Structure 1
Amino acid sequence: MTTTQKIRRLVLGNWKMHGSLAANGQLLAAIRSGWNQSSHAAACDVGVCVPFPYLAQAESALTDSDIAWGAQDLSVHDQGAYTGEVSGAMLAEFGCRYVLVGHSERRAMHGETSQLVAEKAKAALGAGLTPVVCVGETLAEREAGRTLAVIGEQLAPVLALGKEAVAALVLAYEPVWAIGTGKTASPEQAQEVHAAMRAAVAQAGCPGVRLLYGGSVKAANAASLFAMPDIDGGLIGGASLVAEEFLRIAEAGATTRSA
């Protein structure tokens, strides 16, 4: 199922646990300068999700630009005795627009359940942030033919938040077997999952939710992925750490038209 509604593209970088003040300064300056000079900057939303300690640096470097910034996680709690946790209100104070929730690395390494991910998405919305809810299957799940079932299970608690909440979030499909491995789902494989996701959000009354693809996206394959009718942009990992590569992917997001 596809939607005829025109959906604005989004290309969002996820730095993961990379960066230093010096390297970040160069990267942010290059991305800002390159995107500001692009003739396609008005056609695609662009942002970077950085480690917590660098949010102030991102805010300083990107304020008054066309590039948004965000964080990679948040707590379900507003405040309290939760050592090491960061609340949505704290992120909002640093001008964050986006926050990733449920990335596969959080699910695998920190035992985050789909219900917890939904609660984090709700907390993000409550703080005025846009949650980017990540879903994806492992290689074993794909080989067992369970891809769509797994995605459905991961989406269910999020969709249960209700139409108003779902309409305000972003979904990102990141097959676990393609994250940081150099392997990428083919455009057709990605589209199959995105079409199922589109059907699910449409049934929830929100067909215009932006659906991103993530998993070894590079400048070389971005256009073919973004040409798929239900892929509205990308969540970019390693390639977002190289300004020229990230900018080329953003250009693909701005110029590639869905089939």
Structure 2
Amino acid sequence: MPRVTVGVSLKAYFGRRQARIWFTQVAARARSHDAVRSGAVEVFVIPTYLQLEDARGCFEGTRIALGAQDVSAYPAGAYTGEITAAELAESGVTLAEIGHAERRRLFGETDADTAAKATAALSAGITPVLCLGETERMDAAAAAAATVAQLHADLDGAPAGRVVVAYEPVWAIGAPEPAPASHIVAVARALRAALDADAARAGSTVIYGGSAGPGLLTRLGDDVDGLFLGRFAHDPDAFAAVLDEAAALASRRGAQPPVVERGAQRRDETPRPTSTRS
């Protein structure tokens, strides 16, 4: 896949005031970055729900896509505290992060829950950012087998559509260093092969998260489609450094600007009903 993808999840680190400052700084860097402007580097940011409108305003006029940190598996109705895929799409959200290790660990979410959320997102024209990875450290071949099995479970029954697969070995999340490059490459190749074998997942992307930061994308080269950043992107200059690495990689691959931005939904398009799976 010629383009290179760089995503950021802010989790719940920033309050709204701090987030607005960060959005403004990142938007300025995106507006002046040739590869981001052309679409050779695809950028998405996932703030908290309350920060979505702030981010949307700050990112106006840039190519930064907006994501949400979760999505309801249910349609509109009596589901207190839930935010539906249809409402997210109406709010300008084009991606939804699902299956993160923290959701699985802290809130008991299962592969079935993740599959239901993927179904809801895809049915509303939203691209799932599907987080998966082995819990315990193991050799690369075993990790590849485990993550491919998880990929199939997390998309079980989901309709056709592009997904962004974020490989995040749980043991590397929050660690001082990311997983070894050779390990990431082996798992990413297995995930890519599984996606390429499924016609329903045409155009899907494999990116790496888990203590990802500046310098990693250069080491990984063509074996991943990009990075999913966390705390290392809190510094806008570090984020900009990753964009520069992504631009160099995209240039080497001969990336072409897209005709229509991926994951985008026409504003006059009515979202399809979301799944009722739990």
Q: Alignment partner of 1:139: what SS?
A: coil
Q: Distance in 1 between matches of 2:247 and 2:100?
A: 25
Match of 1:105 in 2: 102
Does the C-alpha gap of structure 1 residues 144 and 184 become closer, same or farther in structure 2, counting only changes over 3 Å? closer
Q: Distance in 2 between matches of 1:94 and 1:208?
A: 24
Structure 2 residue corresponding to 1:248, chosen from 241, 265, 268:
241
What pairs with 1:116-131 in structure 2 (closer than 5 Å)? Answer: 116-131=113-128
Is residue 208–residue 227 contact of structure 2 (8 Å, CA) maintained in 1? yes
Tell me, yes or no, if structure 1 residue 237 matches structure 2 residue 230: yes
Match of 1:13 in 2: 8
Q: Distance in 1 between matches of 2:80 and 2:232?
A: 32
What pairs with 1:220-235 in structure 2 (closer than 5 Å)? Answer: 220-225=215-220, 227=221, 229-235=222-228
C-alpha deviation, 1:31, in angstroms: 0.7
Match of 2:61 in 1: 64
Is residue 51–residue 72 contact of structure 1 (8 Å, CA) maintained in 2? yes
Q: Distance in 2 between matches of 1:76 and 1:214?
A: 24
Deviation per CA, 1:18-41, whole angstroms, max 9, x where unpaired?
A: 112221121111111111112222
Match of 1:174 in 2: 168
Match of 2:83 in 1: 86
Query: How many residue pairs end up in the alignment?
Result: 248
Deviation per CA, 1:224-258, whole angstroms, max 9, x where unpaired?
A: 13x0x330011111022221111211221121247
Does the C-alpha gap of structure 1 residues 17 and 125 become closer, same or farther in structure 2, counting only changes over 3 Å? same
C-alpha deviation, 1:85, in angstroms: 1.5
Structure 2 residue corresponding to 1:153, chosen from 146, 149, 153:
149
Q: Distance in 2 between matches of 1:209 and 1:249?
A: 21
Deviation per CA, 1:170-210, whole angstroms, max 9, x where unpaired?
A: 11100111111123112211010011111111221346421
Runs of at least 4 residues off by over 4 Å: none
Does the C-alpha gap of structure 1 residues 45 and 145 become closer, same or farther in structure 2, counting only changes over 3 Å? closer
Q: Distance in 2 between matches of 1:122 and 1:159?
A: 8
C-alpha deviation, 1:143, in angstroms: 6.1
Is residue 74–residue 86 contact of structure 1 (8 Å, CA) maintained in 2? yes
- Matched residue type, 1:222: L
Q: Alignment partner of 2:223: what SS?
A: coil
**TM-score, normalised relative to structure 2:** 0.83
Q: Alignment partner of 1:19: what SS?
A: coil
Structure 1: which 5+ runs fail to align? 1-5
Does the C-alpha gap of structure 1 residues 86 and 159 become closer, same or farther in structure 2, counting only changes over 3 Å? closer
Q: Alignment partner of 2:34: what SS?
A: coil
- Matched residue type, 2:167: Y
Does the C-alpha gap of structure 1 residues 62 and 221 become closer, same or farther in structure 2, counting only changes over 3 Å? same
Is residue 194–residue 231 contact of structure 1 (8 Å, CA) maintained in 2? yes
Does the C-alpha gap of structure 1 residues 171 and 144 become closer, same or farther in structure 2, counting only changes over 3 Å? closer
Larger mean CA deviation between 129-138 and 60-69 belongs to 60-69
Q: Alignment partner of 1:240: what SS?
A: helix
Structure 2: which 5+ runs fail to align? 254-278
Is residue 177–residue 183 contact of structure 1 (8 Å, CA) maintained in 2? no
- Matched residue type, 1:246: F
Is residue 7–residue 208 contact of structure 1 (8 Å, CA) maintained in 2? no
Tell me, yes or no, if structure 1 residue 27 matches structure 2 residue 22: yes
- Matched residue type, 1:181: A
C-alpha deviation, 1:76, in angstroms: 0.2
Q: Distance in 2 between matches of 1:241 and 1:93?
A: 28
Q: Distance in 1 between matches of 2:203 and 2:58?
A: 31
Q: Distance in 1 between matches of 2:145 and 2:182?
A: 18
C-alpha deviation, 1:145, in angstroms: 6.8
